[in-house]
Structures are given as structure tokens and as C-alpha cells.
Amino acid sequence: MIKVSRLRAHEPELVVNAELIETVEATPDTVITLTTGHKVIVQESVDAVIKLVVAYKRSIHTPFKGE
């Protein structure tokens, strides 16, 4: 899951399942399209969304180092 900010919303914070992201476009606003067909317009740039997804993927694929 990644945390993004909706554009022009009264409750801007939104958590998106990164596994469901199909495309991220700059039109010029950043539009995230999910595999479900839903679209979300966010404040973050395309590059920022990519970095969030990469960080998420790294966190779930990194072996747990418990004590």
C-alpha cells in the first residue's frame, strides 16, 4: 500500500494498493489508473508515485530480520 494525496479533495490522504496500479500518467495532473478501472488524481508527480511503489515493493520482498 502507498499513501498519496488526492488533488482538490476535502479528505486528501488516500492509501492505494500498489499491486492494483495499471498506469500512472501526467495529464498534466497525475492520474493513477487501477486494474479495476478506477482513476485517482493525486498531487504527487509521476516520479514520486514510482518511488513510492518501488519502496513498497522493496519492503515486501526484503527478508525479515527478527531478533
User: For residues 56 and 27, what is the distance between their CA atoms, to the nearest angstrom?
Assistant: 24
What are the DSSP E strand ranges found in 9-54?
13-16, 21-26, 30-34, 39-42
In this prediction, residue 66 has a pLDDT band, given cuts at 50, 70 and 90, of low
pLDDT for position 67: 61
More confident residue, 34 or 67: 34
Q: What is the mean pLDDT of the chain?
A: 93
pTM for this prediction: 0.86
Using one digit for the tens of pLDDT, what is the confidence trace for 9-22? 888 899 999 999 99
Domains and their CATH numbers in the chain: 2-61 (2.40.50)
Which position has the higher pLDDT, 8 or 45? Answer: 45
